[in-house]
């Protein structure tokens, strides 16, 4: 376990954080590492950059960090699928030392597809761009209709208009009538079901290894 030489608090290995960040946001990468090493929840929350609150009471700050780490790790006492996947990738990284084959093209593509479906609007946009780049589509530039379809399938036409305005892309709202909502939702559901099966399979494998 790595600790800060001054404070004595836990610190995640930077190489491991960098590796897992290829598949997720840095906070989730740190949470996955901390959970794998059975680090105290408050230390995980603090290292991940979660807020300790405005209180000066150290005990309350630790409770806030622990609560934030817990919410980022579990839902209804069950470890969230993306944390399970990150822990699995961490085990692989630790076994092969980060060899090139430890991050395959397919794994990166799967991560992009997961972020397109489940990420924030900005993460979805970046994931669409990376996904298209990896597949050699349109010189890495996502099609406007694909971007709009993702939003419509996730939040509906009206919220899509508002979201595009907030992102400074209000001009794309004109494409909303062209989106086949049923087709977009069907495609998103198909990807979600495929991702769920994959996560369940990886969860079973991780539990077997542990």
List, for residues 119-148, the tens digit of each pLDDT value.
776 677 777 777 776 665 544 445 666 667
Residues 114 and 195 in one domain: yes
Q: How many Cα neighbours within 13 Å face the side chain of 139?
A: 0
Element (H, E) at 33: helix 26-36
Q: Which of 99, 131, 153 is the last residue of a domain?
A: 99
pTM metric for this prediction: 0.50
Q: Which domain holds residue 191?
A: 104-201
Residues 6+ apart with CB under 8 A from 187: 153
Residues 182 and 130 in one domain: yes
List, for residues 52-61, the tens digit of each pLDDT value.
888 889 999 9
In the block, residue with structure tokens 């001009």: 171
Token pair of 197 as six digits: 């099966």
């Amino acid at each position: 376990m790595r600790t800060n030489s001054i404070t004595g608090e836990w610190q995640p290995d930077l190489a491991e954080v960098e590796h897992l960040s290829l598949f997720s946001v840095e906070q989730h990468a740190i949470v996955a590492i901390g959970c794998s090493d059975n680090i105290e929840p408050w230390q995980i929350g603090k290292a991940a950059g979660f807020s300790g609150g405005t209180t000066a009471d150290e005990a309350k700050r630790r409770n806030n960090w622990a609560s934030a780490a817990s919410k980022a790790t579990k839902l209804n006492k069950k470890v969230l699928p993306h944390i399970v996947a990150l822990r699995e990738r961490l085990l692989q990284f630790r076994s092969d030392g980060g060899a090139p084959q430890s991050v395959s093209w397919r794994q990166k593509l799967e991560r992009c597809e997961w972020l397109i479906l489940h990420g924030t609007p900005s993460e979805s946009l970046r994931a669409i761009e990376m996904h298209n780049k990896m597949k050699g589509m349109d010189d890495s530039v996502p099609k406007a209709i694909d971007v709009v379809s993702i939003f419509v399938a996730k939040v509906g036409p009206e919220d899509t208009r508002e979201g595009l305005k907030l992102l400074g892309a209000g001009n794309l709202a004109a494409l909303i009538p062209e989106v086949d909502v049923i087709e977009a939702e069907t495609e998103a559901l198909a990807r979600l079901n495929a991702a769920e099966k994959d996560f369940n399979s990886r969860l079973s494998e991780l539990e077997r290894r542990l």
